[in-house]
């Protein structure tokens, strides 16, 4: 694997009595944000060959929006990614590191912790992106990591290349 994209699911309906967490759907803004981030990922030349996605409804709906934009991806739903921690996400990535560009769509805090861990070990090629990642990992956020060479996933070989946040595109009036 040469590139890794970590994306948090898009904005969801608020939790309310009678709605279980696993079944929460995306809001209209969530659908728009997920697609816009996918468009930005593709515009930077980062089209995933494989997407690992939590089986929670909000993650699957985010993946659906991403799949409308990227080409040639293979989606692999994984129950283990639902509210998974750092170790579970790392295991899923290692099991799928034969893809040249791998995308993981999941949840916080595990996804944010995993992204921070990779950055701590491998560093960053962009100071602003580092600051954004350290700040927080909001809905529809994507962290893009790149290695110099295609190979097995070892965090120390991956540098943070960019962090894309949906609100930045809304504030710019492009979403």
Please state the domain count of the chain.
1
CA dihedral 147, 41, 106, 72 (to 10 degrees): -90
Q: How far apart are the first and last CA of the chain?
A: 31
Q: Residue 123: left if φ>0, alpha if ψ -120 to 50, beta else—which one?
A: left
Residue 123 φ/ψ, nearest 5 degrees: 90, -165
What pLDDT was estimated at residue 173?
A: 56
What is the per-residue pLDDT across 2-48, written as a single tens digit (0 to 9) for each? 999 999 999 999 877 777 889 999 999 999 999 999 999 999 999 99
- Looking at residue 122, which CATH number applies to its domain? 3.40.50.1240
pLDDT of residue 175: 45
Q: Which residue has the higher pLDDT, 174 or 92?
A: 92
Tokens for 136?
């927080």
Domain span at residue 113 reads 3-171
Each residue's pLDDT tens digit, 131-161: 999 999 999 999 999 999 999 999 999 999 9
């Amino acid at each position: 694997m040469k590139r890794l994209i970590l994306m948090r699911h898009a904005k969801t309906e608020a939790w309310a009595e009678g709605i279980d967490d696993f079944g929460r759907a995306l809001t209209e803004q969530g659908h728009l944000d997920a697609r816009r981030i996918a468009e930005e990922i593709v515009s930077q030349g980062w089209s995933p060959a494989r997407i690992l996605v939590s089986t929670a409804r909000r993650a699957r709906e985010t993946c659906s929006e991403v799949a409308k934009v990227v080409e040639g991806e293979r989606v692999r739903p994984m129950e283990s990614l639902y509210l998974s921690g750092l170790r579970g996400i790392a295991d899923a990535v290692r099991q799928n590191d034969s893809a040249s560009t791998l995308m993981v769509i999941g949840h916080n805090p595990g996804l944010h912790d995993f992204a921070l861990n990779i950055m701590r070990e491998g560093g960053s090629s962009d100071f602003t992106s580092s600051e954004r990642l350290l700040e927080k990992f909001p809905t529809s956020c994507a962290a893009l990591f790149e290695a110099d060479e295609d190979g097995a996933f070892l965090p120390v070989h991956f540098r943070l290349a960019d962090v894309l946040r949906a609100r930045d595109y809304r504030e710019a009036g492009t979403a």
